[in-house]
Amino acid sequence: MNAPTNPVRANPGMDSDTFEQFAEQLERYVKERLIPAEEEVIANDAVPPEIIDEMRDMGLFGISVPEEYGGAGLNTSQYARVVNMMSYAAPAFRSIFSINIGMFASALKNGATEEQRQEWYPKLVEGKIACFGLTEPGSGSDSAGLQTTAKPDPDGNGWTLNGTKRYITNAPHADVALIMARTEKENLPKNAHVSAFLVPMDAPGVSTGSPDKKMGQSGSHISDIMLDDVKVPGDALLGGETGKGFRFAMQSLDNGRISVGAAATAYARRALDSALRYANERQAFGEPIARFQLIQAMLADSETEIYAAECMMRDVTERADRGENIITKAAAFKVFASEMCGRVVDRVVQIYGGAGYLAEYDAERFYRDARIYRIYEGTTQILQLQIAKHMLREWEKENL
């Protein structure tokens, strides 16, 4: 098995004219196809299969896969824009392909062997669905508490995995999972006791629980993954080396956090557009409530914060494309965008007034859907700790 090659850090991405044409088509698809389908998604708690097929045909499941493996080869800035455009519609549409183009594709880029890339990149491009198995019933961001194990087979040709993963997006219908598992009994420095494995979801011993009932985000499914004496070959070990899994996972989470930040920013924009329309249509005291100064203040504050998040998205993705280390700025963007979205949807409910509390109006749905952005891919509180840790580390380098 070949050792993983160093990933190319600077990424020019798709030709800008070609990408802008694609973006124009995608924006039209979101507004003319996806938004009208939202009621069906909510009613059935599922994205219609024909829409998933359309997304496959558009190449959305492989947009971040390098061109030499059949993908579109988008850079981080272009990837974030696609996620942002798709996330103007109901969150389920982003969710179904986001793990493919974010954390899973990033893990392949950062840590896979060439053989693993040749096997899995084309499968992503054709529309196989991926999931990312890090969180467990007793551990999330705390890797020291990870209990899933991977033990080498006596003949040395494979591994046996046992454990349970929790809150795994797309698990009920995924084709492959990237599973973080303990390959050492004792906790080691730099989380070297954790390794990553590429596990087909149809492998004997892999099962999923029933999709969890959630507060919002209808059509986006999460569930447990149970691993019961799951046998995988030796080449299922990502990168062909033990002890690197957590590092690969954390590197992949940079892309995941950009995706969540881009999604939260777009959903805040969707909610504000709805509130602006409602404020101009709703009459009180003989005039539209949009003319009331305190309504205008909420609209203005929301526009200001969305603009700030859009600027952060552009900055962090351009830095990524230049090859800079973005771990702190990706975390900062995700924290700001997700918290901002929460404030915006709260104002939108207030602008709607009593109607904002009724399920027949969009504001109530926006409010429920947005809450998860502050939790997954790192809670705000965990990311605050991470940001501060890196700030202090940099200060020590410069001053001690």
| Active-site residue flag, 377 | yes
Q: What is the pLDDT of residue 1?
A: 44
Q: Cα-Cα-Cα-Cα dihedral of 174, 180, 183, 186, to 10°?
A: -150
% of the chain residues with pLDDT over 70: 97
User: Out of 68, 126, 377, 394, which one is annotated catalytic?
Assistant: 377
Alpha helix segments (H runs only) across the chain: 16-29, 38-44, 49-57, 76-86, 91-99, 105-111, 114-125, 245-281, 293-321, 327-352, 362-370, 380-399
Q: What fold, for 247-399? A: Butyryl-CoA Dehydrogenase, subunit A; domain 3 (1.20.140)
Q: Look up the CATH number of domain 132-242.
A: 2.40.110.10
Q: What is the pLDDT of residue 6?
A: 42
User: pLDDT, tens digit, for every residue of 244-276?
Assistant: 877 887 788 888 999 999 999 999 999 999 999
d(CA 99, CA 14): 20
Q: Where exactly are the structural domains of the chain? A: 16-128, 132-242, 247-399
Report the chain's terminal Cα–Cα distance, integer Å.
43
Q: Is the pLDDT of residue 145 over 90?
A: no
Mean pLDDT score, 181-197 = 90
Q: What fold, for 16-128? A: Butyryl-Coa Dehydrogenase, subunit A; domain 1 (1.10.540)
Q: What is the pLDDT of residue 248?
A: 81
Contact yes or no for 151/91 (Cβ under 8 A): no
User: pLDDT, tens digit, for every residue of 13-65?
Assistant: 889 999 999 999 999 999 999 999 999 999 999 999 999 999 999 999 999 99
Q: What is the pLDDT of residue 247?
A: 83
For residue 374, count other CB atoms closer than 10 A to its CB: 21
Q: Which residue type does 265 have?
A: T
Given pLDDT bands bounded at 50, 70 and 90, which one contains residue 168? very high
What integer best gives the mean pLDDT of the chain? 93
Partnered with residue 200 across adjacent β-strands are 176
Round the CA-based radius of gyration of the chain to a whole number and report it: 22
Q: Give the strand pairing for 176-182 and 130-133.
A: parallel
Q: What is the pLDDT of residue 10?
A: 64
d(CA 255, CA 270): 22
Q: Give the strand pairing for 149-152 and 194-200.
A: unpaired
User: pLDDT, tens digit, for every residue of 227-243?
Assistant: 999 999 999 999 999 99
Q: What is the pLDDT of residue 8?
A: 43
Q: Which residue type does 73 have?
A: G
User: pLDDT, tens digit, for every residue of 204-220?
Assistant: 999 999 999 999 999 99
Q: Is the pLDDT of residue 7 over 70?
A: no
User: pLDDT, tens digit, for every residue of 328-346?
Assistant: 999 999 999 999 999 999 9
Whose CA is closest to 345, among 288, 306, 293?
Answer: 306
Question: Which token pair is 347?
Answer: 């104002």
Given pLDDT bands bounded at 50, 70 and 90, which one contains residue 113? very high
Q: What is the pLDDT of residue 188?
A: 85
Q: What is the pLDDT of residue 213?
A: 94
Quick one: angle between helices 76-86 and 91-99, nearest 10?
Answer: 150
Q: What is the pLDDT of residue 268?
A: 98
